[in-house]
Amino acid sequence: MMNSAEPARPDPDALAELAARDGRGHLKVFLGAAPGVGKTVEMLVEGRRLHQAGRDVLIGLVETHGRAETEAAIGTLPRLPLSAIAYRGQVLHEFDLDAALARRPAILLLDELAHSNAPGSRHAKRWQDVEELRDAGIEVWTTMNIQHLESSAEAVARVTGVRVAETVPDAVLKGADAVELVDIPPAELLERMRAGKIYRSEQAERALRGFFREGTLAALRELALRRTADRVDADVTSWMRRNAVAGPWPVGDRVLVLIPGGAAAEPVLQQARRLADALHAPLLALHVEQPGQTEDPGLGIALAQQLGAETEVTAATDLPAAILAHARARRVTHIILGRGASHSWRRALGHRLISALARAAPEFTLHVVPSPVAARSPAPVRQWPGWVSWVVVPLLVGSATLVCAALDGRVPDAAFGMVYLAATVAIAVLAGPAHAGAGAVLSFLLWNFLFLPPRYTLAIASAQDVLGAVVFGAVAALLAGTTGRLGRNVRTAASRLAALRRLAALSRRLNAQASMAELQMAVVEEAARIAGGPSCLLLPLDEALASSLPGQFTRTAEAPAEPVLRAAHPPDAAPDDGALAAARWALANGRPAGRGTATLPASAWRFLPLVAQREGDAITLGLLGLRPEANASDPEADRAIAALLDQAAVALERARLADIAASARARGQAEALRTALLTSLGHDLRTPLTAIRGAAETLRSAGPALSEDTRSDLLSSIEEEATRLARWMSAILDIVRLETGQVKPRRELVDLAVALEEAASHAEQTHADRVVRRDLLAGLPQPRLDPALLDRILENLLDNALKYSAPDGLVRLAARLDGREIVLIVEDDGPGIAPEALPHVFDAFFRAARSDSIAAGSGLGLSICHGLVGAMGGRIQAESPIHTGRGTRITLRFPT
C-alpha cells in the first residue's frame, strides 16, 4: 500500500533539466501569428527600457523592412556592425557572430530566428548562431512567427496554401527560457496592412489577396495561442515536478484511461475518448503490467493509439500506487477505468482497485465504466480438455504411493510425506492450484491410511505424526498456490516470448521485401499461415493505381472507395460478390466486417482494416481478407493477426512513401537539370551571340570607315565567339550522348608520352604566355584507350587548370604507374574548390564559386570528363586543397 505520510521529493529528471540550463545564456522568444503583429517593436521597446535602466543591451541585427514604427522603436539602442559577405557578385550584410562573441553584451537583440544565413557564414541558420551565443553565456532575445516552427509548418501549409522553407526545430522553442506572445486581432492586423504599416502598397495588395485573409489569420492566431498555452502548461508542470508539488491544479483538464486487457478495453477507451472530447482535454492511456497477468493488452494499446491517446506501458506490483504516481506526474484530473471482476477475499480486505484509488486520491475524479457481459474476459484456454487435468491428480498421487510402497521398511514413515509433496508440486505445475489442492488432500489421506501407524485407519497415534501431518498440510497448500501461479507465469512468459519471436520474424520478412508487389505477397502468405486458410489483400481503387503510379492519384469524398484485389494466397483465392459487400463496408468505415463480426456475419470472408497514421489522421490503407476453416476463434491466432495488421500497415505506408519520395527525387532531378539547362542556355548562348551580333553590326554599319586593325579585331572576336558557341553546343551534345549511352569507345594502344605532349602543347597555344609543366615517367605501358576521347578529356582538364589559376601560376601534367593502373594527374595552384562543393564538381551544370574576374564556365566540362572516363573503364577523382589551402588535383586512373 502507499504511504501517504512519506514526504514528497522533487522529480530528479526535472532537476536535471534545470541543471542543464545553468551556465547557458537565457533565450527569450517574441512569438507572433503573422508578420506585422509587432514582435520586433515589442522586443525593441522592452530592450530600450532595460538599456535606459543601465543594462548592457545591444542590437545584433534588426530587420526594419522600411517600417517607420520599427525605426523609431530602436531609439538610442547601440547596434553591432554587420559583416559583409561577397556572394555571386553581390555583397550581403549579415549578423556578425564573432563580433557579438567578442563584445559579450548582457542582452543581445537578434531579429528573425528562422532566417537562413548567407553562404560562407559559420552556420547555415540563425537559430544555430543563437545556440552558440547561449553556449557562450550570452542572453538572446529574438522573434519568430508560428509558421516557422518545424512542427507547425505542415498545418500552416494546409491553412494558407504556402509552405515555408525556413523553419526552426521545436527543440529550440522548447529550450527557450521565456516565450512572449505578441498578439493583435485579425481585423486590426488587416487595418495595419491596408494603411501600409506592414508592406508597401503593391506588396500589401498581393498579401491581402493571399496570405492576409481574416480566416487565415484567425487560424494562425489560434495555432500561436495553442502553442503558447502548451508552453505555459509545460512550464507549470516542470515547476511542480521540481518543487515536489503533487497537484493536480485545476487549471486544465487531463483525462487518464487505464487500458485493460482483452475485449474489455474497447468500451473503456471509447468512453474515455468521449469524455476527453467533451472536456476539450488531452487523453492519456496507461497500461500497468503485473505479475501473473494472462490477458494481452496489445489490442487495447493499438485501439488507444487509433483514438489519438498518448499511450504508455509500465510494470509494477502495486497497481494503485503506479496509477496515482503516473496521474500526479502528468497532472491528470480525471481517471477512467473499467469495472472488472474481483474475488470476495479481496473485497473483504479492501484491496479493490476502485476503493484503493478513491481512498488514496480524493483530488481526482474517478469514472468507472461497467464491463458488458460479452466483453468480460474469457476463461483461460487450457492445453488439454478439463477432464484430462483431473485424471492427472490420481495418476501422480498413485505413482507417489507406489514409490512409497517400494521404500516401505527402508526409510522412516514420516519421510513419505516428502514424496507426496513432490507429487503435489508436479500437479500444481501441470494442472493448477485447484488440482494441486485436491492432490494434497488425497495424498494426505493415502499417506495416513497406508503408512502412518496405526495403519489402515485414518487415526494418528503419536504427536510426532500429528505435527508432521499439520506441517505437510501447510506446506502442500503453500506449494500448491505458489507453484500454480509460477507455472501460469512461466506459460504466459513462454507464450509472449513465442509471440515476440514471431513478430520479430514477421518484421524482418516485411522489411526484406524490395517491391510493393513482393511486400503484398509476403503479407497474404503470412496471414494464410497464421489463420490456417486462404487470405487476400484488397486496396482502394486509387491506392491500387498508386502502387504502379505513385503520387498520381486523388481521392474524392463523394464516391465510396472500391476495394481491388492486389494479392492472394493461394493465388486463386478471391472473395465473391457477397463478400465484397462486406469489404466495401469495412473499407468505408475502417472497421472489421464479415465472418465472426457484427456486420454481415454470413459472409465466408472476414475483412480487417490496415490502419496507418498519415498527417496525424488514421487512414485505412486497405483490407486483409481471411477465410478461416474453423468457426471457433483462437486467441493466439487473433493476437498474431493483430500484430500482422500493424506491421503490414506500417510496411505498406513506408513502401508508399518510399515510392513517392523516389518519384519526387526523380522529378526534382529532372527539374534541376531543366533549370540548369535553361540557365546555361540563357547565359552561354546569349553572351557569344551578343558579341557576334555587335561585331557584325559594327562591320556592316561602319565597315569602310574602320581601320584594318579594327576590322581584324572585330572579325577575330566573331571567330572566337563562334568557336566558343560551337564548343558549348558540342558539350551539350556530348552530355546527351553520355546520358543516352551512345558513346562507344574505339580502343587502341595509346602512346601516353605523345598524347600528353600534344594536349599540353595545344593548351599552351590556347592560353598565350602560359606553360604546362610535364612530369612523365619513362617506359610507361601503352593502355588501350580511345585517343580522341582521351584528348577531349585532357583538353577540358588543362583548360580548367589554366583558366582558374593565376597568370603566372603552376599547372602540372603528370603520368605514372600504380600497380596495374595508369595514373594521369592534372594539378593547379589556383584558389581550389570549397569542401561543400567538392562532391558535386562532376555534376552537370554545376559551377563552383569563382573569382569575379574569371568568366564562369558552362558547368559541363568536368561532367563530360567524368562520363568519358567511365566509358573507357576508368575512374576520375578531384582533390582540393593540395597546397596550404590552395590548389586542385584531378586524378585519372585507367587499367593497363
| String of DSSP letters for 300-339 | HHHHHHHTT-EEEEEE-S-HHHHHHHHHHHTT--EEEEEE
| Res. 688 pLDDT band, cuts 50 70 90 | confident
Q: How far apart are CA 396 and CA 324, in angstroms?
A: 46
Distance CA 585, CA 645 (A): 18
* CB hemisphere CA count around 875 (13 angstroms): 8
Three-state DSSP at 893 gives strand
Question: Would you report the helix, strand and coil content of the chain in percent, each value rounded to 5?
Answer: 50, 15, 35
The pLDDT of residue 687: 67
Cβ pair 400, 423 in contact under 8 A: yes
Residue type (1 letter), 226: R
What angle (nearest 5°) sits at the alpha carbon of residue 598, between those of residues 594 and 602? Answer: 45
Task: Give the whole-angstrom CA distance, residue 532 versus residue 626.
Answer: 9
Pairwise CA distance, residues 32 & 36, whole Å: 9
- 138/58 Cα distance (integer angstroms): 11
Share of the chain above pLDDT 70, in %: 72
- Cβ atoms of 189 and 212 closer than 8 Å: yes
Rounded CA-CA distance 246/4 in Å is 12
Q: How many other C-beta atoms lie within 10 A of the C-beta of residue 685?
A: 15
HSE-CB of 703 using CA atoms within 13 angstroms: 7
Could you tell me the three cell numbers for 867?
Answer: 562520363
* Cβ(526)–Cβ(644) below 8 Å: yes
Contact call for residues 134 and 104 (beta carbons, < 8 A): no
Kindly state the average pLDDT of the residues 400-421.
79
> To the nearest 10°, the Cα dihedral for 269, 270, 273, 275?
-100
What was the pLDDT predicted at 881? Answer: 84
CA pair distance 333, 366, nearest whole angstrom: 9
Distance CA 522, CA 460 (A): 69
For cell 488531452, the residue is 282
707 SS3 class: coil
The string of pLDDT tens digits covering residues 215-231 is: 677 778 877 877 777 67
Please name the helix (run of DSSP H) or strand (run of DSSP E) that holds residue 723, with its range, or none: helix 708-739
Point out the least confidently predicted range of 68-77, 333-342, 579-588, 629-638.
Answer: 629-638
**Mean pLDDT value of segment 436-460:** 76
* 58 confidence band (pLDDT: 50, 70, 90): very high
Q: What element of type H or E holds 132?
A: helix 126-135
| pLDDT given for residue 5 in this prediction | 41
What is the average per-residue pLDDT within 337-364?
63
- Most confident of the ranges 140-149, 156-165, 413-422: 140-149
| Residue 106: pLDDT over 90 | yes
- Higher confidence at residue 15 or residue 767? 767
List the beta bridge partners of residue 619.
Answer: 612
Q: What is the rounded distance in angstroms from the CA atom of residue 828 to the CA atom of residue 300? A: 68
Looking at the whole model, is its pTM more than 0.85? Answer: no
Q: Is the pLDDT of residue 26 over 60?
A: yes
Instruction: Label residue 133 by pLDDT band (50, 70, 90).
Output: very high
Q: Is the pLDDT assigned to residue 511 strictly greater than 80?
A: no
pLDDT for 347? 44
pLDDT value at 751 more than 60? yes
pLDDT category of residue 853 using cuts at 50, 70 and 90: very low
Which residues are 608's β-sheet partners?
624
Q: Measure the CA–CA gap between 119 and 101, rounded to whole angstroms.
A: 20
Residues 492-516 have a mean pLDDT of 64
What local confidence, expressed as pLDDT, does residue 609 receive? 92
**Rounded Cα distance, 328 and 446, in Å:** 57
pLDDT tops 50 at residue 351: no
Quick check: 552 pLDDT over 60? no
Q: Residue 809 — φ and ψ, nearest 5°? A: -75, 170
pLDDT of residue 342: 44
Reported as a pLDDT band with limits 50, 70 and 90, residue 673 is low
C-alpha cell at position 656: 508508399
Q: Is the pLDDT of residue 424 over 90?
A: no
Sign of the CA dihedral 204, 207, 208, 214? negative
User: Over 50: is that where the pLDDT of 602 sits?
Assistant: yes
* HSE toward the beta carbon, residue 750, CA cutoff 13 A: 22
| C-beta neighbour count of 155 within 10 angstroms | 17
Predicted confidence band of residue 140 (pLDDT cuts 50, 70, 90): very high
**Higher pLDDT pick, 880 / 343:** 880
pLDDT of residue 246: 55
Task: Give the separation between CA 774 and CA 292, rounded to whole angstroms.
Answer: 83
Q: Is 869 exposed, middle or buried (CB count within 10 Å of its CB: 0-12, 13-18, 19+)?
A: buried
The predicted pLDDT at position 381 comes to: 41
Q: Which DSSP letter does residue 886 get? A: B
Tell me how far CA of residue 646 lies from CA of 547, 597, 616, in angstroms.
20, 19, 16
Residue of higher predicted confidence among 658 and 505: 658
What integer is the mean pLDDT of 852-872? 67
Of 605 and 469, more confident: 605
| Residue 285, H or E segment | strand 283-289
Mean pLDDT of 323-348: 69
* Cα-to-chain-centroid distance, residue 575: 37
Residue 377 has pLDDT above 50, yes or no: no
Whole-number Å distance between alpha carbons of 501 and 507: 10
State residue 461's pLDDT score.
62
CB 557 within 8 A of CB 596: no
- pLDDT exceeds 50 at position 346: no
**What are the strands, taking DSSP E only, across 70-163?**
83-87, 90-94, 107-110, 139-145
Question: In this structure, what DSSP letter does residue 681 have?
Answer: I
Cell of 101: 562573441
What DSSP assignment string belongs to 24-81? SPPEEEEEESSTTSSHHHHHHHHHHHHHHTT--EEEEE---TT-HHHHHHHTT--BPP
What is the rounded average pLDDT for all residues in the chain?
76
Site of grid cell 463480426: 597
The length of the chain is 896
Sorting pLDDT into bands at 50, 70 and 90, what band is 496? low
Rounded Cα gap, residues 192 and 891, in angstroms: 62
pLDDT of 506 higher than 70: no
Lowest-confidence range among 240-254, 376-390, 438-452, 522-536?
A: 376-390
Tell me how far apart the alpha carbons of residues 320 and 357 are, in angstroms, rounded to a whole number: 6
Q: Which of 280, 254, 281, 283 is nearest to 268 (CA)?
A: 283
Q: Taking the CB of residue 10, how many other CB atoms lie within 10 A of it? A: 14
Q: Where does residue 874 fall: left (phi above 0), alpha (psi -120 to 50 degrees), or beta otherwise?
A: beta
pLDDT score, position 730: 67
Task: Answer for the pair 166, 148: CB distance below 8 angstroms, yes or no.
Answer: yes
CB atoms within 10 A of CB 661: 12
**For the chain, which domains are there?**
13-242 (3.40.50.300), 255-375 (3.40.50.620), 386-489 (no CATH), 513-740 (3.30.450.40), 743-895 (3.30.565.10)
The two counts, helices (H) then strands (E), for the chain are 28, 24
β-partners of residue 116 are: 125
Taking alpha carbons only, the member of 699, 610, 621 closest to residue 657 is 621
> To 10 degrees, the CA torsion angle through 377, 382, 387, 388?
-170
C-alpha cell at 464: 510426532
